[in-house]
Structure 1
Amino acid sequence: MDRDTLLLRALAQIVSDERLRARFLALTGLDPETLRARAGAPETLEAVGAFLAGHEPDLVAVATALGVEPSALCGPS
């Protein structure tokens, strides 16, 4: 699976969890409508990787939910 697809799946995990969604929106400054419109944009996907890299427990939780190694979500593109 390519990295963009993986980060898009990670974004889906983030927005499905109320706590993660609220934190992601607060840290990125995005609102729900803008996030929906820009979900697949490169800058949004990079924000997902940076968001997860910034808090290891969330990174591990999302990686586990997706069945991937944490480094796949926040490693180099």
Structure 2
Amino acid sequence: MRPDTGNGKQDSNPDAATLALMALGWTLSDVGRAERLLSLTGLDADALRAGIDNPAILGAVLAFLADHEPDLIACADAIDTTPAALIAAQERLSR
């Protein structure tokens, strides 16, 4: 599920925003998890759409996953990365 680079190989180190967007897609793929994201972050669907390029919003998505380890691990597996990479991306976006 990682984006391909120009040479056809998978990107082994996507940037923080790319990881966050991939994690957001995974999060929104489940209605219950998506509702929990909106509820716990205080965002609504419109704010999420409007802030899709905002590092604070993307960081909040990753923080949401970091706060629930089973989702963090499942997301990392689904998007072919590690939980540590998601946490590092969250830290970079929250600066």
Which TM-score band applies after superposition, normalised by the shorter structure? over 0.9
1:8-57 Cα offsets, whole Å, 9 max, x none, are 11011111111210110001111111111112211111101211110100
Report sequence identity in percent: 48
- More helix as a share of residues: 1
Q: Which residue of 1 aligns with 2:15?
A: 2
Question: What is the alpha-carbon root mean square deviation over aligned residues?
Answer: 1.0
Matched length: 77
* Structure 2 unaligned regions, length at least 5: 1-13
Q: Which residue of 2 aligns with 1:32?
A: 45
TM-score by length of 2: 0.76
Counterpart CA distance in 2 for 1:61 and 1:19 is 15
Runs of 4+ in 1 over 4 A off after TM superposition: none
Counterpart CA distance in 2 for 1:72 and 1:20 is 21
* Structure 1 unaligned regions, length at least 5: none
TM-score by length of 1: 0.92
User: How does 1:1-77 map onto structure 2 within 5 Å?
Assistant: 1-75=14-88, 76-77=91-92
* Higher alpha-carbon Rg: 2
